[in-house]
Amino acid sequence: MSGKLNLTCGLSFQLAFIIPSLFVFLGGLFTILAFRLARYAYGFSIEKIWMKKVRDKDVWWPHKRKQSSVYWIRAFSTRVEMMLSAQTSVGCVLVILVFLLNIGALIIYFVNLAEAEEFKISFPDSILYVDTGFNAFFLLYFGLRFVAADDKLRFWLELNSIVDFFTIPPVFVSYYLKKNWLGLRFLRALRLLELPRILQFLRITKNNYSIKLSKLFAVFISTWLTAAGFIHLVENNGDPWVQPANSQSLSYFKCMYLVMMTMSTVGYGDVVVQTTLGQTFIIFFIIGGLVLFANFIPEVVEIVESHKNYKSSYEVVSGKNYIVVCGNITLESVTTFLRDFLLQDKGNVCTEILFLGESLPSLELEAVFKCYSAYTTFFYGSALNSEDLKRVGMESANACLILADVQSPQPYTEDTSNIMRVLSIKNRYPNTRVILQIIQSHNKVYLPNIPNWDWRRGDSIICLAELKLGFVAQSCLVPGLSTLLTDLFIVKEDTETKRKYLKDKMLLEDKDYKVMTFQLSNDFADMTFIEVCRLCFVKLNLVLLGIELKFGSQGESAILINPSAQIKLHQNTVGFFIAHSLAEVRRAQFYCKACHSDIQDPEQIKKCQCKSRLYSKPFSEKLKFCRESHVLDGELAKSRSLGGVLPQTFVNGGFDGQGGENSRVILDSTGMFHWCDAVPLQEALLSRKDQAAPNLQDHILVCVFGDADSPLIGLQDFVMPLRASNFIYHELKDIVFLGSLEYLQREWKFIQNFPKLWLFSGSALSCADLRAVNVQDCAACAILSSNTTASSNPSLVDTESILATLNIRSMQGKSSSAPLDAVFRARALGNQSQRCYKRIPITTELKSSRNAQFINQAPSSNSEIPEQDQLFTTGAPAGAIFSDSFLNSLLSMTYYNHHILALLQTLVTSGTSPALGEQLLEEGGRLCRSLDNVIHSASQARCKLALLPLPRRLLTGAMDDSFGDIYCRALDLFGILCFGLYRLMEEPNPYKNRFVIARPASDLKMLSTDLLFCVVPFNVATTDDL
């Protein structure tokens, strides 16, 4: 190098390097501003003056030629912009090359610095030529960026541009003068801020934490090196206006040391700045540097430690219970799961929860794990990776629970991803129990193909769409049922809401009744279900809903709800009870005929020491009993595949009495559903011109929101419970689907074999379309919507459903016939001479339960309905709202007791089972006609849910009939099992809203307007007068 590098230089020598940079920066800035001003003035003159006076085509030609040139310039800049955005391979290489050359230029700066500080390091003069070549390339890259920039002024003031202004011109000056000056070349350290971007291009940093860590290091190092370079410059050259110079000799390493001491607030004082420029810089730098250093160290330590902890392995302890939760691990899903899991265990958590997430938790999610750190641990990994499964001890886990993203806009992808997780787990650990959430029911058919998947060993599928649509469908036949079942199975009763609208606050007890399972006493063996049910209610104060009948050599079982008198209980039979606590349910196991037959107080029934309870029938006697009861393994295995019903030999003769009705009934091959030949879409499509549409009466209207691109709701899950074979054919109501024809066409191929289905192209937001389908004469209305990503605000995801609900409510008018309340199922229990207004029972599906506030509102004061007949809507207690959030706790509930899920599926879906899903898989996922065209009496011998008024035959005429009296008479006379009430919120007007009472007290006084939630035998028509 010609000329030795000195740290101290004269002012004129420094200005020779600084003035070109300032000239380029300020000159370009003023040029851009002047160009903008000239362009604005030119545009103003063209628009206001020239265009008004000149209309000649030849005059416009230069203007058009200019437009053409502007187009080509714009096209060229767009090409350059695409190349610089690193979206192409050439652009990616260019960005990486520029970054590497910047690092090279920074290294050359350090090389010159070492020579200037007389470290006796000899470097060839050619290093100046290398640096000049680098900066020539930077100049070319700067020009390309300038051409591609849309906003030239903003580009000119960017940080990278300022770095180029004060580093590129001094290098060319050095080449011209053959003398070097360190100057502002330390600014090249700011190019290290591009490091995180480069690492993402190279796929080195992929997750949130690695990207965040790289950004922290880049900001810290670039700030450190740049600040040290500035102090090194001003301290070694001194203040320009001070003579003699007040400079001091500081090495670059001491400047780095000073900056570090300043940022860390240590400040030893052994190295200090002397110049005014240096002291001024330190005043401002210490504020920003202190904030930077104070945030940098804790964040880096936390990221490194958390990453290390999340990659650790779980230490399995013998005898300690733990579960693994994977799938959709987000803040909302984890919070909901923990709340439900703790509720199921009543706060006494004896099971540790291991969350296996495929992405590192956010800060909010980390806070949740810290709050529940006593029994939750997060592990970073994937259920698809065998090493990660080994780390969490999947082989010894009690169960693996897989969460699904219910709000996913692509439910098929979400389901198949979770099914792949099941496959990964079952392939490596076949004995691990898996409980899986599935969004769409038709995706269940893939699970039986997975090796080692067996629902007999506790593997369970929670199909959210199947249960949700089953709830809504049953609510169309039995208003309020969704609230009753969610009270008994899932969530706590909304007692406070009910009390608000009751005059007699003592009607509601403080007990929280739930469905529980427990083994029945062997003293109930050989008794019929009705006999056991009556004894449990009278003696034990328990409501028995059903039993689990075990059969076969492999431990198969079937859930029977209110079975016929032909079924007798075996020993060790499991019963399903409605009770307040487990202590109450234990009475059914402790009951002894010899010791407890004379006890009237249920609380006195405790475990006795009677020797007769230890007696167990020998195997030969059990076999004889099974043969006498016609319990054959082959028949029962078949019944299990049909959803838990019994073989034909168990069906009583009552069914055959309806031979005239059944002679024209066609069922599917499973015998579970009514079937018909495929109906063409055009034949099922109604329009305003059709004569069939105005004749619709007592039908079910289903308002569907979806379009050609929306995910399928799965209307087959809605139709199947309403077309179950345990309904007599004339009990089937017409179902009219109102929605977009493009969407209904996609759903029709799955429901075209069910009878009495109609389609109408329109919208529930249109009053004209609602009148066309006779909404005022419908028996019930359901509002469903597909998952959409139209809004990220939870309060707006249910906008269409809420507006449709309010629209239908506004159309509630005078009934054209007798004053029939739709809830009564065509039975008027009030004064028929008074004016009345028909109420349309509406069940609205909400994606977010918080949006119920928009539906729970009083009618306006200017309503045409008199004030005494206005309907004050309370959606949740009245059973008018069903939210996806109601099903969240099913995962925790299934882990503790998988029988409860099986019972709920039997009630809601009218008897579908895992084995039925396997049979549907063999048939291609669709129902087909029975080959022998024979009525499957065994499949039809299933009870059905109903909402019935008090029959006169159940009333004694006295004023003090209680629920206990009605319960026993209904059971004795008709075999009907009552387990809930639907009572008016206020008396005596029968047109007010109703609320649900789950498991009423035995001494609760009945009212003539009360409706009973019942389990009715298959051979009792709910439309007939009892």
8 Å CB contact between 339 and 405: no
The pLDDT assigned to 860 comes to: 43
Cβ contacts of 860 within 8 Å, gap of 6 or more: none
pLDDT per residue as tens digits for the range 62-79: 555 555 555 566 676 777
Residue 422, pLDDT > 80, answer: yes
Cβ contacts of 94 within 8 Å, gap of 6 or more: 83, 84, 86, 141
Residue 397, pLDDT > 70, answer: yes
> How many other C-beta atoms can be found within 10 angstroms of the C-beta atom of residue 758?
22
pLDDT per residue as tens digits for the range 835-868: 444 677 888 888 877 777 787 654 444 444 333 3
- Return the DSSP state at 962: B
The pLDDT assigned to 353 comes to: 93
Q: How far apart are CA 728 and CA 658, in angstroms?
A: 9
DSSP three-state, residue 977: strand
- 6 pLDDT band, cuts 50/70/90, is low
Q: How far apart are CA 830 and CA 676, in angstroms?
A: 40
Residue 648, pLDDT > 60, answer: no
Residue 958, pLDDT > 80, answer: no
The pLDDT assigned to 915 comes to: 52
Residue 735, pLDDT > 50, answer: yes
Residue 429, pLDDT > 90, answer: yes
The pLDDT assigned to 655 comes to: 36
Residue 499, pLDDT > 70, answer: no
Q: How far apart are CA 642 and CA 914, in angstroms?
A: 9
Residue 336, pLDDT > 70, answer: yes
Question: CA angle 449-454-455, nearest 5°?
Answer: 120
Nearest 5°: phi and psi at 53? Answer: -100, -30
The pLDDT assigned to 758 comes to: 93
Residue 104, pLDDT > 60, answer: yes
Question: CA angle 631-636-637, nearest 5°?
Answer: 145
Q: How far apart are CA 308 and CA 303, in angstroms?
A: 8
Cβ contacts of 248 within 8 Å, gap of 6 or more: 235, 236, 274
pLDDT per residue as tens digits for the range 304-335: 666 666 888 898 888 888 999 999 999 989 99
The pLDDT assigned to 815 comes to: 43
For the chain, what is the mean pLDDT?
Answer: 77
pLDDT per residue as tens digits for the range 544-591: 999 988 776 666 678 888 888 888 888 888 999 999 888 899 988 888
DSSP three-state, residue 138: helix
- Residue 320: C-alpha distances to residues 349, 783, 943, 946 (Å): 12, 46, 42, 45
The pLDDT assigned to 488 comes to: 86
pLDDT average, residue stretch 718-735: 89
Residue 131, pLDDT > 70, answer: yes
Question: Lowest mean pLDDT: which of 8-12, 132-136, 414-418, 864-868?
Answer: 864-868
The token duo for 727 is: 């309904």
Question: Lowest mean pLDDT: which of 75-89, 495-509, 894-908?
Answer: 495-509
pLDDT per residue as tens digits for the range 258-273: 988 888 777 777 888 8
Cβ contacts of 899 within 8 Å, gap of 6 or more: 517, 548, 559, 574, 576
Q: How far apart are CA 890 and CA 895, in angstroms?
A: 9
- 454 pLDDT band, cuts 50/70/90, is confident
pLDDT per residue as tens digits for the range 794-837: 778 888 888 998 898 888 754 444 333 444 443 333 333 344 44
Neighbouring C-alpha atoms within 13 Å toward the C-beta of 193: 12
- 513 pLDDT band, cuts 50/70/90, is confident
DSSP lists the bridge partners of residue 996 as: 982
Residue 348, pLDDT > 60, answer: no
Cβ contacts of 755 within 8 Å, gap of 6 or more: 674, 675, 676, 723, 732
The pLDDT assigned to 532 comes to: 92
The token duo for 429 is: 């650990």
Share of the chain above pLDDT 90, in %: 19
- 356 pLDDT band, cuts 50/70/90, is very high
> How many other C-beta atoms can be found within 10 angstroms of the C-beta atom of residue 607?
13
The one-letter amino acid at 885: S
The pLDDT assigned to 41 comes to: 82
- 930 pLDDT band, cuts 50/70/90, is low
Question: In the chain, what's the furthest Cα-to-Cα distance?
Answer: 122
The pLDDT assigned to 86 comes to: 65
The pLDDT assigned to 719 comes to: 93
Give the length of the chain.
1026
The token duo for 340 is: 């439900």
pLDDT per residue as tens digits for the range 592-636: 888 887 777 788 888 887 744 444 444 334 333 333 333 333 333
pLDDT average, residue stretch 440-465: 86
Tokens 């009572």 belong to which residue? 983
Nearest to residue 757, comparing CAs of 814, 709, 696, 807?
696
The one-letter amino acid at 59: V
- 916 pLDDT band, cuts 50/70/90, is low
- 940 pLDDT band, cuts 50/70/90, is low
- Residue 410: C-alpha distances to residues 406, 709, 942 (Å): 10, 11, 36
The pLDDT assigned to 349 comes to: 58
pLDDT per residue as tens digits for the range 21-60: 889 899 999 999 999 888 888 777 766 665 555 444 444 4
- Residue 792: C-alpha distances to residues 194, 413, 572, 710, 936 (Å): 32, 20, 52, 16, 49
Q: How far apart are CA 737 and CA 637, in angstroms?
A: 37
> How many other C-beta atoms can be found within 10 angstroms of the C-beta atom of residue 996?
26
The pLDDT assigned to 824 comes to: 42
